[in-house]
Amino acid sequence: MLDWSAIILGIIEGITELLPISSTGHLLIAEHWLGARSDTFNIVIQAGAMLAVTIVYWRRLVTLAVSWRQPENRLYIGKLALAFLITAVLGFVAKAAGVELPTTLAPVAWALIIGGIWMMAAERFSERRSSKKEVTWTVAIAVGVAQIVAGIFPGTSRSGATIFAAMLTGTGDRGAATEFAFLVGIPTMYAASGYELYGQFKHGGGHEDWVALGTAFIVSTITAFVAIKWLLSYIQTHRFTAFAIYRIALGALLLVIAGRGWM
């Protein structure tokens, strides 16, 4: 028998993980009505979304791997590695220091609102600059830091934070900024998922409905694949303004819900 709640959560994760609207806020609402899931469940469906990114960019990844001796590819790989290492080091520091905000409605709502306002301001600023496709070392550093900011502040959106970090620090082209942000996310999210899963099993976790989990993983992967392909097409001719407005509206709604004690 199909677990429809797992399917719905997989769909929500697949759509919201890669679009700059934050998966955390959406999953909070969904799990309130459908029932809370384990950390293992949420980690695995997140990995499903990142698998979709890997599939979408497989040609680019193969080109980088096969032609790594070419100077431009070697530099690009170096910048991906730098962004990942910054995230990994700062992530371990934050974990050791216990720096983590609660995934409750109010902080997530404020992160959505502030992030939406920041996205509109950042895009206006970046449009005044030349539309460069080049990814500089400064961009790599900024993207690495942005991933940690998104990890510490639930509701920020990893994709939104990294894309706009790239755009603000030099990569004015939306497509180039999105590609770099997504490619950095592949090793980052796989490493984070693996680390969290190891911790879950080490401390006695892993008691899961594996059929439901597998179903949600597959649904998340398929949905994320469609969402990424749509986003890459959309940003060729559109700004991110619609996502920013949506974030602000959702954040305001969550504040109302939290204030009235509905969740």
How many folded domains does the chain comprise?
1
pLDDT of residue 213: 86
Q: How confident is the model at residue 201 (pLDDT cuts 50, 70, 90)?
A: confident
**Residue 240 structural domain:** 4-260
Report in angstroms the alpha-carbon separations of 110 from 29, 41, 105, 115, 258. Answer: 15, 26, 9, 8, 11
Question: Any idea which residue has 């999210």 for tokens?
Answer: 189
CA 72 to chain centre: 26
Residues 6+ apart with CB under 8 A from 254: 25, 28, 29, 105, 106, 108, 109, 112
d(CA 49, CA 221): 5
Q: How confident is the model at residue 97 (pLDDT cuts 50, 70, 90)?
A: confident
Question: Any idea which residue has 């109010």 for tokens?
Answer: 106
Query: Could you tell me what percent of the chain has a pLDDT over 70?
Result: 94
Give 105-145 pLDDT, tens digit per residue: 888 899 999 999 989 988 888 777 767 788 999 999 999 99
